[in-house]
Structures are given as C-alpha cells and as structure tokens.
Structure 1
C-alpha cells in the first residue's frame, strides 16, 4: 500500500504527506479500535500533545522511524494504563499515586512510558498530579567480574592492540567513563604517570595469591 501511494503521489493523483505522522495516526486508529471507550481522551492527547511536538521537531530535523516508535509507545502505554485502571474500577480522574505505583511495579519498564500521558492529563485537569519517575537507561549486559579484570589487563598490557583502543578500553573498564566522553578526549588530555606503567590487580585474586 505504501508503494502504491508513493506512485500516486509521484504522478500527482495524491498530495504528498508526512509518512511518519501518517503512521502515528494509523497506529492511533488501531489502538482506538481495541479501546473504543477511550476514543475522545486518546484523540485529544494525540492531537494536542503528541502530534504538535512531532511537528515542531520536524521543522528542524527530518522525522525518523525512531520518532514514530516514540509516539506509538506512548499512545499504547496510555491506552493500556487506562484499561488497567478501568479493570480496577477507576477512571482517569480517580486514579491516585498508589495506583500508578502498582502499575509501574507490576510489569515491564516500558510502563514508564505512561509518564508523558499522565503529565499532560494533569496539566489539562483530567487527572491528579501523579509522579512517574523518568525511566533510567536499561542496565547494559554486564561482564562477569573476572572477565572485566581480564579485559582491563589486556588494555593495560597488550602491545598488539592499538594505543587508542587500549586507552579507551582502560577508561571504560577502570573509571566507567561513557563513550561520549572518551571520544571527545585528545592526546593533550592524557598524561603519563611518573612511576610508569603499573599492573592493576584484581583484589580477590591478590587475596587468593597471598592465601
């Protein structure tokens, strides 16, 4: 269907449109088909909150699939939260903080996406002031402690690795520096230690060796 529309636009049979915004409106229609009891509220949220922000962003940056997913996630989260509250005998204006806390604790981290909807609803007078913390970044898949120290030792002592790789790896594993800071460093930011290169040792391993 998307390809056919592009052809019709190219020949002038249909006017051009922002396909990302069109996708959001399509997703809204699918959500409303599943949750028709929230039609007015969700349409109002999307019309006066979600879409205006996307249009403002589109003036300075081209729309992306990521932005479409951002909007879709918030529309779905709002609908699911409203349905969850309804099953417990509540409407949006009777939802209290303890209900929000139960919602957040009872499912995946994606439930935090409801924050955008609840902040908007409170500002419009549809809901109480409800707190949903900003969702933290997902925990990265961490390394086993022994693997972590082995990688650090390699960064410190493996002359076969490029020096910039060794420095970046050491900063990441030894000081937990984010990559955004590491890539901004220059050679002037790094000074050799007067005592020269020292071997970092795993504390548990040192204890085992002394034992």
Structure 2
C-alpha cells in the first residue's frame, strides 16, 4: 500500500535545502519518491495521505545507547514512581540497590526504547551485552549499529547540544532508501535545534508508524 507523508517543511538529509510542502511517498518499508506534495499526490492518487505539522526529517541516531539502556533504569510509571521518582536512575550504587535482574533490565529497556521512539530516534549505536535488553531493542524496530564515538554523556535526545540537527540524522530520504523518518512540530531547523527531539510528533520505521503524539 502506498502512503504519502507530507509536512510543512521537508529536510531530506544533512545540508539539504528545505522544501516547503514536501512529501515522502512510501510503499512497504521503502521510499518510492520524495518531492513537492502536489507532484507526488498527482503521481499516486490512490495513496493514503498522512499530513503532519512542522518539519519532516530523517530519523535520528543515538550514540552510547548501551549506556542509556543497560546502565540506566527507567522506573515503571505509575507503579514505582512514588518509591523511586520519575527520573532515570544511574550510578553503580543506586543500581545495585535496585537488585537488578535480567528480566527487570528488559522491562526498563522497553520503556527506554519507547522514550527514544518518542524523540524521533530510528537507530542506536552501542554494544548490548544483557540478553533481555538486546531483545527489547531488536523488537522495538530500532536499527542497531556498532559503537560509535561520542562526546560527553549519552542522551535520550540526540539533538541536545547540537547547533545543526543534521548531525544527528540517520541516513537520507531518497528513492529506494529505507522508510525511516521523523516529524517535529517546529517551524524549521533553527527551532528544532532549540527545542530538541521532544518536539517529535511522529516516528516511522520500516514504513510503520511506531510513535505518534496523542
């Protein structure tokens, strides 16, 4: 089935010229074509149309994801919030006090991957050694890459501290490429750099809508 995703602005990759009223035509898990909405709609009149506010970009890449998912615990909301608080828990002493098991790490990782999808992340780089975490990441749909260098502490928001959002893009949006992209409710790249990935309203991986802000 053909699906046409369109937004107020389209960025197909790092350094690309923003296209007002741009669109991405998807069939299955692949991009068929990108370009002006009117042009693609005329070429595929039977395509399902999804209209999004803001800017449509390639999905984001998080580096140091093993630190975020294997050495950070995300409390189960609402069941653990009163006892543990809502924020992520890090540090050897704090994690030891939780008496973490493989199953508990897996549940935490599932919550962590949902947080990543909600920030437009489509790929993670890291070396996962906890079996349940590795399973959770694979099942989430996120692409897993080998470890990549990164500066500072890893963040759930790959746009944090970046003046150019394109530095966090994973791949480009072009014919034949995997249908992996995100949409952010911002006016353009400058506002995206300021607001960060929490402005995400939709994340598509393999042509499937895996996150949509309600």
TM-score, reference length from structure 1: 0.20
Higher strand share: 2
Structure with the largest fraction of helix: 1
Give the greater-gyration-radius structure (CA): 1
